[in-house]
């Protein structure tokens, strides 16, 4: 029942919600081949630790049919292990109780981690079926552990005398965290309350899985098919070729298919000259999950929000947000509201100033054409902001892409910065099995030649992969378990046509540096117990190290090393580099407002009791009123995610989407520290590694920040970065 197992469960459930195909929830375990025992001639690869280096998963041996038996045996084995702890007549000790739980459940942990990663990155109908079948079973399994009164009694006995057990600081913290986890799971509730919590957890697991499968199914089904090449004016040949291939795969040869990504605003609208097509794409994106079709998620949203509120009330909290953030660095919804409320008015004001510039550009263009002008709409923003950017800074995004070839960005940018800061060396290897042909595997070595970790890089978008970008873990570092990290970096770069280079957008580059920041957090972990490993930190702290890593994307030494023309090798011209840097605050009113719209909407769903939440028919009206009440209902800038496809808050970021900007306060302040202390140096990298990245969750999160910077966090740097300071 160690933290990696709990995290793996969360990963499996949240990954399930963000990926998959819509299948019936009817369960037929006696006839479903995915739940049948594996072939007798096929040894289940999960039944023992992988014999590959660092226990790298045996993807070449893993079959879909292996997961069911591994889950069943893994849960049974863990329950036996936990029963032995709970039933022992020996007095509770740190070793026979806490460490015994830390060591338990290795089989279920192995299986769930691989499963959660595959349902996110390379799902199929069989995995989706298993997801539906096992999500409630996993919830019930972990409830049976956390709600075991005899086990909790042993944990509580150790907690009550934790300062007299002779433990070091990390050991004391581990006891405290286990006790808190049991209490937050409901260990102090009466039997009636425990029964209801179990029912809620099982129902939420099923609903969350269904939500994610609906979201991905609708995205795959609702690609915008364009009949005429003329309608794609503004796109390059390299951008058009994959659209033609996608259409052909959908049986529409000779046409073009534009897939929708998970955000409200779609990237291609920044280039498409056809306003009617931009509008069509925008409206299709906005309507996802609320059209009354088979993928409508409004009923799921309503049920989940009410169940969360009910569960929080049982736990003694006024609403789910209060429960969710009690153990985060924010501590309370009031603190979140104060910060978001401080940012929102300035962000919207900046967005309106930006809109005035865009409207002036529209008026000017229409007048030059001798045509009547039109009012700026949300589907125009990306297109005209690029025009304004070009007018103000004399460049557009298309000028950057030839200098942002993916391999250069990875090898000569992301990996180069990691070597400069931490002395790490990445070595590609091709002798390890992967789950999909485009996945790459790297050994990672410390400066002294010792192996630190292994990393999988999964770069391209595909129908079987959820949207966005993320880091995940297959094996967590732990002195107790003697394990080193095996982690993964997942991107959604558009795969180029055969023989063509993978050219990234500037956002792709920034995202790659960001997610590799999470990878570093996982790889550089150096803790004793699995519970604290890597990114096992408060949710509103986990984005902080990854956001810091974004700074190196524009650091002159790093940028000059990777921003080279993919054909000529010529470096990006200095004048273009200067324009990129000068434009960093451009469009920040839009970016901050769309983010805050989503973050504050998340809070409105989770800061009220169940009886104030709407039914399915009222979901969209509730959203509209919430945005109006909090002052971010500015039509040209919709929320980054609308409720019916807001996958973050249906998973691990429920009441926690604020975490990105909360973490950015620490990030912006830390970036200033790096700049004040010499920037890209081994000394600075080692300091960040030793005081923060290596510590995982073994210390209080804000104390880690103080250990690194030797000061309290300040919001000043964030306000300046986002252009929200008074002019």
Domains of the chain: residue spans and CATH: 3-215 (1.10.1370.40), 222-286 (no CATH), 333-395+587-657 (no CATH), 402-533 (3.40.390.10)
Catalytically annotated residue among 132, 218, 397, 515: 515
- pLDDT at res. 261: 86
Mean pLDDT of 294-320: 97
Q: Which residues contact 102 (CB under 8 A, 6 or more apart)?
A: 1, 2, 174, 480, 529, 530, 531
- pLDDT at res. 723: 80
DSSP 576-615: HHHHHHHTTTTTHHHHHHHHHHHHHHHHHHHSS-GGGS--
Report residue 663 as tokens. Answer: 């973490």
Report residue 456 as tokens. Answer: 């999988």
Mean pLDDT of 517-543: 97
pLDDT tier for residue 42 given thresholds of 50, 70 and 90: low
- pLDDT at res. 297: 97
Q: Which residues contact 366 (CB under 8 A, 6 or more apart)?
A: 372, 373, 374
Q: Please give the share of the chain, as a percent, with pLDDT higher than 90.
A: 84
Mean pLDDT of 446-473: 94
Q: Tell whether the model's pLDDT for residue 667 goes beyond 50.
A: yes
Q: Tell whether the model's pLDDT for residue 35 goes beyond 90.
A: no
Q: Tell whether the model's pLDDT for residue 8 goes beyond 50.
A: no
Q: Tell whether the model's pLDDT for residue 13 goes beyond 70.
A: no
Higher pLDDT, 405 or 584: 405
pLDDT tier for residue 575 given thresholds of 50, 70 and 90: confident
**Mean pLDDT over each residue of the chain, to the nearest integer:** 91
Mean pLDDT of 677-681: 97
The 3-state secondary structure of 105-161, one letter per residue: CHHHHHHHHHHHHHHHHCCCHHHHHHHHHHHHHHHHHHHHHHCCHHHHHHHHHHHHC
Using alpha carbons, select from 149, 133, 151, 134 the residue that is nearest to residue 194: 149
Q: Tell whether the model's pLDDT for residue 312 goes beyond 80.
A: yes
Kindly give the residue spans of alpha helices, DSSP state H, lying in 394-458: 397-400, 406-409, 415-422
> What is the enclosing helix (H) or strand (E) of 453?
strand 451-460
Q: Tell whether the model's pLDDT for residue 7 goes beyond 80.
A: no
Cα separation, 117 vs 18, in Å, equals 11
Mean pLDDT of 251-256: 94
Q: Which residues contact 259 (CB under 8 A, 6 or more apart)?
A: 219, 220, 223, 246, 461
pLDDT tier for residue 40 given thresholds of 50, 70 and 90: very low
Contact, 319 vs 558, CB < 8 A? no
Q: Tell whether the model's pLDDT for residue 150 goes beyond 80.
A: yes
Give the torsion through C-alpha atoms of 382, 388, 390, 391, to 10 deg. 170
Active site residue 397: no
Report residue 505 as tokens. Answer: 């957008």
Contact, 22 vs 294, CB < 8 A? yes
Mean pLDDT of 572-601: 90
Neighbours of 648 (CB within 10 A): 22
Higher pLDDT, 274 or 468: 274
Give pLDDT tens digits for 434-456: 999 999 999 999 999 999 999 99
Give pLDDT tens digits for 362-375: 999 999 999 999 99
pLDDT tier for residue 651 given thresholds of 50, 70 and 90: confident
Cα separation, 568 vs 570, in Å, equals 5
Q: Tell whether the model's pLDDT for residue 9 goes beyond 60.
A: no
pLDDT tier for residue 398 given thresholds of 50, 70 and 90: confident
| 183-192, 208-217, 422-431, 586-595: the lowest-pLDDT one | 208-217
Q: Which residues contact 95 (CB under 8 A, 6 or more apart)?
A: none
């Amino acid at each position: 029942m160690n933290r990696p197992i709990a995290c793996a469960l969360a990963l499996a459930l949240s990954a399930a919600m963000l990926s998959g195909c819509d299948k019936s929830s009817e369960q037929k375990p006696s006839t479903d081949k995915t739940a049948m025992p594996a072939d007798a001639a096929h040894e289940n690869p999960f039944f023992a630790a992988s014999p590959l280096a660092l226990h790298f998963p045996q993807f070449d041996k893993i079959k879909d049919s292996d997961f069911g038996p591994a889950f069943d045996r893994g849960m049974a084995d863990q329950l036996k292990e936990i029963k032995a702890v709970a039933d022992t007549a020996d007095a509770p000790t740190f070793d026979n109780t806490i460490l015994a739980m830390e060591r338990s459940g290795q089989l279920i942990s192995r299986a769930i981690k691989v499963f959660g990663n595959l349902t996110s990155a390379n799902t199929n109908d069989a995995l989706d079926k298993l997801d539906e079948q096992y999500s409630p079973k996993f919830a019930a399994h972990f409830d049976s552990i956390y709600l075991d009164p005899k086990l909790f009694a042993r944990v509580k006995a150790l907690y009550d005398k934790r300062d007299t057990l002779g433990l070091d600081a990390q050991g004391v913290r581990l006891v405290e965290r286990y006790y808190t986890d049991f209490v937050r799971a409901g260990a102090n509730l009466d039997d009636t309350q425990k029964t209801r919590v179990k029912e809620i957890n099982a129902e939420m697991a099923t609903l969350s899985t269904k939500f994610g499968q609906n979201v991905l199914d609708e995205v795959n089904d609702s690609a915008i098919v364009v009949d005429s090449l003329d309608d794609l004016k503004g796109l390059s040949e390299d951008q058009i070729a994959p659209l033609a291939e996608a259409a052909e795969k959908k049986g529409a040869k000779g046409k073009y298919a534009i897939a929708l990504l998970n955000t409200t605003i779609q990237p291609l609208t920044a280039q498409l000259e056809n306003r009617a097509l931009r509008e069509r794409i925008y409206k299709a994106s906005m309507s996802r999950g609320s059209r009354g079709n088979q993928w409508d998620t409004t009923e799921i949203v309503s049920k989940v929000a009410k169940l969360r509120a009910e569960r929080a009330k049982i736990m003694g909290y006024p609403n789910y947000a209060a429960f969710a953030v009690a153990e985060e660095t924010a501590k309370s919804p009031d603190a979140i509201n104060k910060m978001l409320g401080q940012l929102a008015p300035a962000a919207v004001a900046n967005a309106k100033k930006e809109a005035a510039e865009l409207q002036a550009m529209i008026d000017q263009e229409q007048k030059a054409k001798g045509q009547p002008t039109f009012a700026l709409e949300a589907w125009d923003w990306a297109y005209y902001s690029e025009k304004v950017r070009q007018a103000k800074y004399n460049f557009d995004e298309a000028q950057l892409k030839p200098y942002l070839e993916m391999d250069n960005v990875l090898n000569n940018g992301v990996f180069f910065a990691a070597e400069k800061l931490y002395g790490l060396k990445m070595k590609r290897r091709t002798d390890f099995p992967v789950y999909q042909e485009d996945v790459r595997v790297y050994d990672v070595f410390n400066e002294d030649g010792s192996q630190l970790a292994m990393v999988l890089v999964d770069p391209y978008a595909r129908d079987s992969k959820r949207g966005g970008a993320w880091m995940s873990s297959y094996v967590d570092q732990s002195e107790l378990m003697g394990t080193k990290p095996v982690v993964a970096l997942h991107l959604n770069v558009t795969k180029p046509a055969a023989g063509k280079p993978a050219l990234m957008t500037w956002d792709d580059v920034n995202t790659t540096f960001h997610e590799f920041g999470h990878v570093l957090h996982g790889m550089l972990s150096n803790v004793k117990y699995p519970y604290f490993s890597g990114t096992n930190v408060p949710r509103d702290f986990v984005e902080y190290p990854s956001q810091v890593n974004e700074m190196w994307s524009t650091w002159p030494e790093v940028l000059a090393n990777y921003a080279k023309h993919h054909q000529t090798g010529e470096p990006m011209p200095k004048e273009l580099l200067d324009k990129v840097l000068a434009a960093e605050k451009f469009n920040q009113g839009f970016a901050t407002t769309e983010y805050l719209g989503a973050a504050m909407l998340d809070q409105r769903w989770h800061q009220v009791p169940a009886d104030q939440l709407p039914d399915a028919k009222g979901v969209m009206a509730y959203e509209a009123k919430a945005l109006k009440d909090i002052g971010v209902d500015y039509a040209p800038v919709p929320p980054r995610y609308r409720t019916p496809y807001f996958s973050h808050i249906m998973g691990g970021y429920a009441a926690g989407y604020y975490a990105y900007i909360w973490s950015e306060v620490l990030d912006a302040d830390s970036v200033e520290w790096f700049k004040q202390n010499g920037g890209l140096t081994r000394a600075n990298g080692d300091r960040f590694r030793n005081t923060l990245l290596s510590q995982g969750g073994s210390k209080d999160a804000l104390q880690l920040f103080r250990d690194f910077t030797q000061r309290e966090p300040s919001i000043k740097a964030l306000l300046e970065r986002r252009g929200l300071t008074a002019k």
